[in-house]
Structure 1
Amino acid sequence: MAFEIKKQGKFYDVCIVGSGAGGGMAAKTLSEAGLKVALLEAGPKYDPADPEQATQLKWPYESPRRGAGTVRAFGDFDAAYGGWQIDGEPYTRKNGTQFDWFRSRMLGGRTNHWGRISLRFGPRDFKHKSYDGLGDDWPISYDDVKPFYDRVDKMIGVYGTVEGMPNEPDGYFLPPPKPRLHELMIKKAAGKIGIPVVPARLSILTRPVNKDRSPCFYCSQCNRGCTVYGDFSSSSVLVKPAMKTGHVDLYVNAMAREVLTDNTGKATGVSYVDKSDMQEYVVNAKVIVLAASACESARLLLNSKSPNHPNGLANSSGVVGKYLHDSTGASRGGFMPQLMDRKRYNEDGTGGMHLYIPWWGDNKKLDFARGYHIEFWGGMGMPSYGFGFGMENQNGKYPTRDGSTKPAGGYGASLKDDYRRFYGAGIGFAGRGECIAREDNYCEIDPNVVDKFGIPVLRFNYTWSDHEIKQAKHMQDTFEELLHQVGAVPNGSKPGPESKYGLENPGRIIHEVGTTRMGDDRQRSVLNKYGQAHDVKNLFVVDGGSFVSQADKNPTWTILALSLRTSEYIVDELKKQNI
């Protein structure tokens, strides 16, 4: 596909590619420092308060598909314009790889529909190699990042409680919501077997933090985008105030193709395809900041070849795209007869769990190296598309409160009666754990495939190691014991080795990181400890690509903290005329 390249008239201090957690934080920080910023987003503008885009508080019957996930991966009303597959934007796999790559093409990216689980990495998470000899230590410590975590807590808001757990750092917390009934029952059951259950830490406002956002009104639909901005999404909480500075030009539907360089190898701008006219344009800037997501930023760098950067931009080490890793994930559900025929009351709460289980184990006594946390689901939220029973025993019968069984379902009054009897009696557990970063898990450019914009696509190579598989087995053993202790009937049989103990395909947890990792050794890393490319001093990466390792926590809070740190470093370096 041939394009006529058209230059934009303006020259910017900074061009940022991507408007999610890292890009939004960079846009806000840099624009408030007075810099002129171009913000490129591959999807459309998005505001959950816009009546034309809002899906919050809509009933399933307001969708022609009753909310089914045939158009959007998590249902019609989910605030994610994209998914694991996007028409005209393929990716490929090799060596039997099952990696699935989720992309959200919209202002704010994946922060619009995520679970808002906002956990800090702990001191051990930055130095795992020093503990177990696997992977690599980060070139920074928790103490380096702590001041920025503190500021993110206060800027955005996160609920939780001070617990004093060694590797689960406390922060500046808003009051947590009260636990739901099933969560209290799980907490009691877990206590019998020595597993801690504490208030969850989610970036949802239970009290106001500024005049621009209202606190949560407990509709439990954060994944749809919040009309009062009561939860954290980059589009609402970071990009919106950045735009108010008057220092940001927003380019939407701008599909970045490559980072351009001059004859000295220095970055000069970004070329992109405008989806509205399919023409190619160039934005020029003094500093380039990539925040397109770990894999998309790696793709940009690998596609940005020049005489000075024959292996791709910032890739003299050959490490760009390598050390890709996603959180592990496995789950199990069950049915609690004691919660049948429940009294009806509003149990929605926030759009996520009110309690959770942090990692409690000692890996030195286990046969796998890293930990995981456990998330819960259950209660009487609005039934979604496909709501059913899923609680039958081996004979297709359903348990009742007195221990007997009966067939369920049917049509008409019988079906409605069973829905009412079983509604609110299901519970579930989801483990989310740490994968060990390995060089042989990577993404690269497929030499034979391009997308509809003519841009070469990514090809993935990924396997789980025995550490991740054994971790998933431990998850399933724990779920089984928790279901027993809480008095639940498990749904179906326990996953075994034939399914890697229910271990999800890599990419399915949507926590991929590590493709442009930081380090002091420029032969084994892409970025320095400030997210600055070793090879190109005016190029920075502020998404999850900079991670040396994942933790048993969700990555978003660390992306935000590191982006704030890098953005202030950029301001300082510009003042010193170092870039």
Structure 2
Amino acid sequence: MQIIENSTVYDAIIVGSGAGGGMATKVLADAGLKVAVVEAGPFFDPADQEQRTQLRWPWESERRGASTRYRPFGDFDAAYGGWDIEGEPYTHKDGTKFDWFRSHMLGGRTNHWGRISLRFGPVDFKHKDVDGYGDNWPIGYDDVKPYYDQVDKLIGVFGTNEGLPNDPDGFFLPPPKPRLHELFYIKGARKTGIPVYPSRMSMLTKRINQERGVCFYCGQCARACQVYADFSSGTCLIFPAQKSRGQVDLFVNCVVREVTTDQEGRATGVSYINKEDRKEYKLKGKVVVLGASACSTARILMNSKSSQHPNGLGNSSDHVGKYLHDSTGADRAAFIPDLMNRKVSYNEDGVGGMHVYSPWWGDNSKLDFPRGYHLEIWGGMGMPNYGFGFNVNDFNKFFGTKVGGYGDILRSDAKKYYGAVVGVSARGESIARKDNYCEIDPSVVDEWGIPVLRFHYKWSDLERNQARHAHDTFEEILTNMGGELLGEKPGKERDYGLHTPGRIIHEVGTTRMGDDPKTSVTNKFQQLHDVDNVFIVDAGPFVSQADKNCTWTILALSWRTSDYIVDQLKKQNI
């Protein structure tokens, strides 16, 4: 098959336009570099009226907002993709499970994420020193702190400085006030001795520049914001980069097959399949920056085989794809009688997510698991859609009577219970293990002819014990709130309610950083040990996940790596 070559030689080719790829685009373009951004999905702008889903009524959807295969979080969710994409399969090994979420579009998953924007703390980078599990990062909090500070100021994050030792303070915008269901949570959590603080989330509660608006509390951040008040990579990083002194060329609907190399084994660019004409193209660049997501980047590297790199690019250590791990997740909800029959003549939507949260409070040295979790709260009176608010079967079981129906009865019950269900979710840290991994399936390819990933992943008793502890915590808090628990408490046979690996969509670790090329893929600047002009700016280089969401650390590390790239290009070292 003929491969069509582009004659332009870019200073940097960036694969992926999510958090890591978007930040690299912004920093490199601001430095005056000529940049190509290759994205597997279409162009997306939430302000475009044809693409906008924010502030649309449920009846504007044929499914009344219900989820679909390609919008599993609801028909109005901003993310295209999901865990099951036609023509783009993945497989499993030894009966294990891993659900891989992909969002192919400009900005990737940042268009719909919860925007919980937490820094990793000093302990998170050196956790092996505390409990002996896993490995320490080759860098520490002080190496990343200046970049966390810059990300806070560039993008905007609300919160409060609390002086917590492992949940570092930052540069915060004013947080919104707790809503009624969150006031109930505060009371229940504090009765148990669990601290509660204002959330730290990347929505603008105050104007920071002229290009972005301020949150007007519609509660629909998952639909992506048409005034750019919440953080998405496209609106906050790539669009501004296109106005900078550099050059940014977007290649959308383009699936990267491999990183191309010369006879010396150095990267020369990438080859990709254009989804629209189904032809293969090549781009040439001095530097290749991979930010396609931890698993997608690992797949590209392992598929980039040559005589110089027979095991895949950057994979002389055989560690590409290894140490895959996702956040742990568990949830529980309760019916709160005191929240019944609420007036609906006021707007209590707030931001698209929680106004308060509980960072990890426990002493793991006294527990049967080594790493903690934070608590997220959900509920309130957001816009109803299909299946909103309560599970009819749970209510019928609880009350021993029939709830719901048709017409006036349905409307009456909906109003009666609207806003009376509150849930708590735990998002925790799992231990990175070499035997949790993704690899190339030897016999399966996607519709573009590219070999797909095969996953091998198992939870250990450490994660199960953490989930059991979380469910004990849920029950205590929700009962303290005056709640009546919904559903059954999961036991050992259900892994104590642990979500399937991959379901929290925080996968990290497949191209881990380290000082030893024999046991890691990149150095501390996320530069391949084997090839000095290839860098990774997604969550692949993470040595461990921490009990925080990973996006703010992806952004900070991508900025740090991009500064290093600019410096090395100026010195002609790469």
TM-score between both structures, scaled by the size of structure 1: 0.97
The worse-fitting range, judged by mean Cα deviation, of 291-300 and 4-13 is 4-13
- Residue 358 (structure 1) aligned with residue 359 (structure 2): yes
- State the distance in 1 between where 2:136 and 2:333 align: 36
Aligned match of 2:530 in 535, 544, 548? 535
Counterpart position of 1:76: 75
- State the distance in 1 between where 2:148 and 2:389 align: 41
1:54 match: secondary structure: coil
The worse-fitting range, judged by mean Cα deviation, of 237-246 and 249-258 is 237-246
Relative to structure 1, is the Cα distance of residues 381 and 439 closer, same or farther in structure 2, using a 3 angstrom cutoff? Answer: same
Paired letter, 2:10: Y
- State the distance in 2 between where 1:366 and 1:59 align: 47
* Superposition map of 1:555-574 within 5 A: 555-574=550-569
- State the distance in 1 between where 2:560 and 2:377 align: 33
- State the distance in 1 between where 2:391 and 2:105 align: 35
Any conservation in 2 of the 1:391–1:491 contact (CA below 8 Å)?
no
* Superposition map of 1:489-568 within 5 A: 489-568=484-563
- State the distance in 2 between where 1:166 and 1:188 align: 24
Paired letter, 2:119: R
- Residue 7 (structure 1) aligned with residue 5 (structure 2): yes
Any conservation in 2 of the 1:21–1:111 contact (CA below 8 Å)?
yes
Paired letter, 2:424: F
Alpha-carbon deviation of 1:408?
Answer: 2.0
- Residue 479 (structure 1) aligned with residue 474 (structure 2): yes
Any conservation in 1 of the 2:392–2:404 contact (CA below 8 Å)?
no
Counterpart position of 2:140: 141
Paired letter, 2:259: V
Alpha-carbon deviation of 1:394?
Answer: 8.8
Counterpart position of 2:371: 370
Counterpart position of 1:470: 465
Alpha-carbon deviation of 1:389?
Answer: 3.3
- Residue 89 (structure 1) aligned with residue 108 (structure 2): no
Paired letter, 2:376: E
Alpha-carbon deviation of 1:384?
Answer: 2.6
1:264 match: secondary structure: coil
- State the distance in 2 between where 1:10 and 1:414 align: 66
2:66 match: secondary structure: coil
- State the distance in 2 between where 1:577 and 1:438 align: 37
Alpha-carbon deviation of 1:395?
Answer: 6.8
* Superposition map of 1:52-451 within 5 A: 52-70=50-68, 71-245=70-244, 247-344=247-344, 345-387=346-388, 389-390=390-391, 396-398=397-399, 406-451=401-446
- State the distance in 1 between where 2:442 and 2:239 align: 39
The worse-fitting range, judged by mean Cα deviation, of 337-346 and 433-442 is 337-346
1:248 match: secondary structure: strand
Paired letter, 1:247: Q
Where has structure 1 moved over 4 Å in runs of 4 or more? 391-395
- State the distance in 2 between where 1:117 and 1:293 align: 18
- State the distance in 2 between where 1:533 and 1:183 align: 45
Any conservation in 2 of the 1:334–1:391 contact (CA below 8 Å)?
no
Paired letter, 1:265: G
Alpha-carbon deviation of 1:406?
Answer: 4.9
- State the distance in 2 between where 1:532 and 1:382 align: 45
Alpha-carbon deviation of 1:483?
Answer: 1.0
- State the distance in 2 between where 1:553 and 1:385 align: 31
Relative to structure 1, is the Cα distance of residues 395 and 41 closer, same or farther in structure 2, using a 3 angstrom cutoff? Answer: closer
Any conservation in 1 of the 2:27–2:559 contact (CA below 8 Å)?
yes
For 1:336-375, what per-residue CA distance to the aligned partner results, in whole angstroms no more than 9, with x for missing partners? 0011001222110000100001000000000001000010
Any conservation in 1 of the 2:396–2:402 contact (CA below 8 Å)?
no
Any conservation in 1 of the 2:389–2:421 contact (CA below 8 Å)?
no
- State the distance in 1 between where 2:447 and 2:66 align: 27
Paired letter, 1:519: G
Alpha-carbon deviation of 1:191?
Answer: 1.0
Any conservation in 2 of the 1:7–1:283 contact (CA below 8 Å)?
yes
Relative to structure 1, is the Cα distance of residues 393 and 348 closer, same or farther in structure 2, using a 3 angstrom cutoff? Answer: closer
Paired letter, 1:46: F
- State the distance in 1 between where 2:21 and 2:476 align: 42
2:242 match: secondary structure: helix
Q: How many residues align?
A: 571
Alpha-carbon deviation of 1:390?
Answer: 2.5
- State the distance in 1 between where 2:389 and 2:23 align: 41
Any conservation in 2 of the 1:5–1:279 contact (CA below 8 Å)?
yes
For 1:18-63, what per-residue CA distance to the aligned partner results, in whole angstroms no more than 9, with x for missing partners? 0000000000000110010011000000000000100000011101
1:103 match: secondary structure: coil
Counterpart position of 1:402: none
Instruction: Indicate the RMSD between aligned Cα atoms, in angstroms.
Output: 1.1
Relative to structure 1, is the Cα distance of residues 21 and 408 closer, same or farther in structure 2, using a 3 angstrom cutoff? Answer: same
For 1:487-523, what per-residue CA distance to the aligned partner results, in whole angstroms no more than 9, with x for missing partners? 1000022111111111000000000000001000110
For 1:141-170, what per-residue CA distance to the aligned partner results, in whole angstroms no more than 9, with x for missing partners? 000000000000000000000111110001
Q: Note the residue ranges of structure 2 that are not aligned, 5 or more in a row.
A: none
Paired letter, 1:52: E
Paired letter, 2:237: L
Q: Note the residue ranges of structure 1 that are not aligned, 5 or more in a row.
A: 399-404
The worse-fitting range, judged by mean Cα deviation, of 122-131 and 493-502 is 493-502
- State the distance in 2 between where 1:393 and 1:289 align: 49
Aligned match of 1:49 in 40, 47, 50? 47
Relative to structure 1, is the Cα distance of residues 388 and 111 closer, same or farther in structure 2, using a 3 angstrom cutoff? Answer: closer
2:283 match: secondary structure: strand
Any conservation in 2 of the 1:336–1:426 contact (CA below 8 Å)?
yes
Relative to structure 1, is the Cα distance of residues 388 and 161 closer, same or farther in structure 2, using a 3 angstrom cutoff? Answer: closer
- State the distance in 2 between where 1:548 and 1:494 align: 33
Paired letter, 1:283: L
Counterpart position of 1:28: 26
Any conservation in 2 of the 1:324–1:515 contact (CA below 8 Å)?
yes
Any conservation in 2 of the 1:139–1:520 contact (CA below 8 Å)?
yes
Relative to structure 1, is the Cα distance of residues 393 and 75 closer, same or farther in structure 2, using a 3 angstrom cutoff? Answer: closer
Alpha-carbon deviation of 1:391?
Answer: 6.7
Alpha-carbon deviation of 1:393?
Answer: 6.5
The worse-fitting range, judged by mean Cα deviation, of 566-575 and 492-501 is 492-501
Paired letter, 2:57: W
- State the distance in 2 between where 1:263 and 1:89 align: 31
Paired letter, 1:157: G
Paired letter, 2:108: G
- State the distance in 2 between where 1:238 and 1:113 align: 16
Any conservation in 1 of the 2:511–2:520 contact (CA below 8 Å)?
yes
- State the distance in 2 between where 1:395 and 1:80 align: 34
Relative to structure 1, is the Cα distance of residues 388 and 347 closer, same or farther in structure 2, using a 3 angstrom cutoff? Answer: closer
Paired letter, 1:24: G
Paired letter, 2:306: S
For 1:101-120, what per-residue CA distance to the aligned partner results, in whole angstroms no more than 9, with x for missing partners? 00000000000000000000
Alpha-carbon deviation of 1:226?
Answer: 0.3
Relative to structure 1, is the Cα distance of residues 393 and 351 closer, same or farther in structure 2, using a 3 angstrom cutoff? Answer: closer
